[in-house]
Amino acid sequence: IDQAFHSRYHTLQENPILAPLGLEFIKDLSLQSRLSIVKENEIVMSNFVVKKSLYFILDGFAQVSVLSGPGGWMSSIGVLSKNDLIGVENTVAFENKNMIVDSILGDLVLLELEEKEFKQLRDKYGQFFDMLLVYSLNMLHNNNLLISNFA
């Protein structure tokens, strides 16, 4: 268990998004999150997989797709990889109507932070929420992630 914790801790220290938040934050995140491995083509997040978690990608690739509506078309709009986040919209009151995130090109290794633990870290480390906002704006600015509701 100690070796797994230290491995997770060192991996998070190397994450350019998290590093500025400091070692104490990274330690708390390591302790409050859990490792999850998602098999290829499994869905991580969608309007029918409701889980208010924030995921940190440690390894692998995730495809972000949108649905045009019931029975309509589906289109891939982006690919996420190591050091990216899934579920940023779960940290605020946002209803996912048409976005699907699934694992592609093999297994996806995630660190999952559930809603309760996210709120604890947010309350303890105000800069954590600021980091999520900056991350989201950078993704939009760099055209790496498009969020739209076609419903």
CA 1 from centroid of its chain's CA atoms: 24
Lowest mean pLDDT among 14-23, 54-63, 91-100: 91-100
Under 8 Å CB-to-CB from 79, ≥6 apart: which residues?
Answer: 61, 62, 63, 64, 104
Res. 78 pLDDT band, cuts 50 70 90: confident
**Maximum mean pLDDT: which of 8-17, 22-31, 66-75, 137-146:** 22-31
What CA–CA distance (Å, rounded) separates 51 from 57? 16
**pLDDT above 50 (res 115):** yes
Q: Amino acid identity of 26?
A: I
68 versus 123: which is more confidently predicted? 123
| Tens digits of residue pLDDT in 6-28 | 777 778 878 888 878 888 888 88
pTM > 0.95: no
Contact 113, 55 (CB under 8 A): yes
| Bridge partners of residue 37, in order along the sequence | 109
